[in-house]
Chains A and B, each alone.
Chain A
Amino acid sequence: MKVQVFVILTSLCFMTIIINMVRKEYLDIKYSLTWLFVGVAAVIISIQPKIIFAIANFIGILLPSNAIFLFGILFIALITFSLTIALSRQSFRIRKMAQEMALLEKKIENKEKVV
């Protein structure tokens, strides 16, 4: 019982902080979605722990808490990996922008020489 209350309060707190950061434009909504989803899932499972019991049973895990840990770890791995992908993409884009800027500067320099 105490655990459930604790999880619900912590999740709601977490989600409020995220939404507030998006509100102040500190956080991009695109990247906040997964975390909001985690918060919602945590609240739902806290209210109805039977869901976890059923899933653990179905997969063949003895202790439901082990199922929570397993999914928690898988989820974090998934999020981390997707962030790695997003990071790689940003890296390519920054490289392209840096090159374009440098070439632009050269173009201006050449034009100034002619003048």
Chain B
Amino acid sequence: MKKYKKIVIIPAYNEEENIEKVISKIKEVASDFDYIVINDCSIDNTLEICRKNKIPVINLPINLGIGGAMQTGYLYAKQNNYDIAVQIDGDGQHDPDYLKRLVEPIEMDKYDFVTGSRFIEKEGFQSSVLRRIGINYFRVLLKMLIGKSITDATSGFRACNKDIIEYFAKHYPSDYPEPEAIVALARKKYRIIEVAVKMKEREQGFSSIRSFKTVYYMIKVTLAILINKIKTI
């Protein structure tokens, strides 16, 4: 099998409590991966901790949100000629043990995009009821739009190949990008697959999705997804 240049992109906003653990786990179980932290203008000590531990970090001067931060990672991956890019969230929910399982379909050139779902084998942290209702909603919506049943469209634990790195570097949604990105990729006829992963409960800090903004988010994301379906870029 050809030697692939792989990078893990870790978007981080106020993850001073978790970031060191995430990095040391990656170094431990996936030494063939490079990694880069994208500090989304954190107001805590995330940046200082990265610098202190000599963790490669890109420091955004203003907060862009998960969409802008991830796109920065894809730009970096493109500029440095990486073949495969994997997203791992900075909060410690994604287990680097699954990195190999995530990139294998791409290395075998069977698929272009692999996303990790915690609902295939229903192991590990299954999320709150509210979140699961949202995830089920996206599963039904995506099934209607792209014909595939994606059990965890909001999962940030995903890997993509070089073509997709180039595409995301140019076009990446800004708000709640995960489900919309899948629709864009399906539209462009990329080969998509889900693999089973286990996720951990968010260890410290707060998730950036608050339940009282949920309805507004759902309307906005649904509309964005529908419009993406008719895009030509």
Contacts and interface: CB of A to CB of B under 8 A. Distances in A.
B210 interface: no
A93 B220 contact: no
B140 to A, nearest CB: 21
Interface string B30-63: 0000000000000000000000000000000110
Size range of the chain A interface in the assembly: 10 to 19
A30 B62 contact: no
Interface string B152-187: 000000000000000000010011000000000000
Interface string B215-233: 0000110011001001111
30 contacts: A19-B227, A22-B227, A23-B227, A23-B230, A23-B231, A23-B232, A24-B231, A24-B233, A25-B171, A25-B231, A25-B233, A28-B174, A29-B175, A29-B220, A29-B223, A29-B224, A29-B227, A30-B174, A30-B175, A30-B220, A33-B220, A33-B223, A36-B223, A93-B62, A96-B61, A96-B62, A97-B61, A97-B62, A100-B61, A101-B61
Interface string A27-43: 01110010010000000
A84 to B, nearest CB: 20
Interface of A: 19, 22-25, 28-30, 33, 36, 93, 96-97, 100-101
A28 to B, nearest CB: 8
Contacts of B223: 29, 33, 36
Nearest to B173: A29
B43 to A, nearest CB: 13
A19 B232 CA distance: 13
Interface in B190-232: 219-220, 223-224, 227, 230-232
Contacts of B220: 29-30, 33
**CB-based closest 3 A-B pairs:** A100-B61, A93-B62, A29-B224
Contacts of A28: 174
A101 B61 CA distance: 9
A86 B174 CA distance: 16
A53 B70 CA distance: 50
A25 B174 CA distance: 12
A27 B145 CA distance: 23
B15 to A, nearest CB: 21
A79 to B, nearest CB: 16
Contacts of B62: 93, 96-97
Contacts of B232: 23
A7 to B, nearest CB: 22
A40 to B, nearest CB: 11
